[in-house]
Amino acid sequence: MGVSRSTIKRWLNYLESKNALVRIPVAGKVCAYALDPHEVWKG
């Protein structure tokens, strides 16, 4: 993709802090991320 792992982690943390992403625990340390539907539909 051309970006470092730390850049992705930084942006994930930023988007979580703005409540734009929801972290979904899958197993152990594995998480899936989804857009927060309340934020998406604000327009």
Q: What does the pLDDT look like over 22-42, one tens digit per residue?
A: 889 999 889 999 988 777 766
Q: Do 21 and 29 meet the contact criterion of CB atoms below 8 Å apart?
A: no
Please return the burial class of 19, using the count of CB atoms within 10 Å of its CB with bins 0-12, 13-18 and 19+: exposed
Mean local confidence (pLDDT), 15-26 = 89
Q: Do 21 and 33 meet the contact criterion of CB atoms below 8 Å apart?
A: yes
Mean local confidence (pLDDT), 9-27 = 90
Q: Do 13 and 34 meet the contact criterion of CB atoms below 8 Å apart?
A: no
Domain-wise residue ranges, the chain: 5-40
pLDDT of residue 25: 93
Please return the burial class of 16, using the count of CB atoms within 10 Å of its CB with bins 0-12, 13-18 and 19+: middle
- Proportion of the chain above pLDDT 70, given as a percent: 93
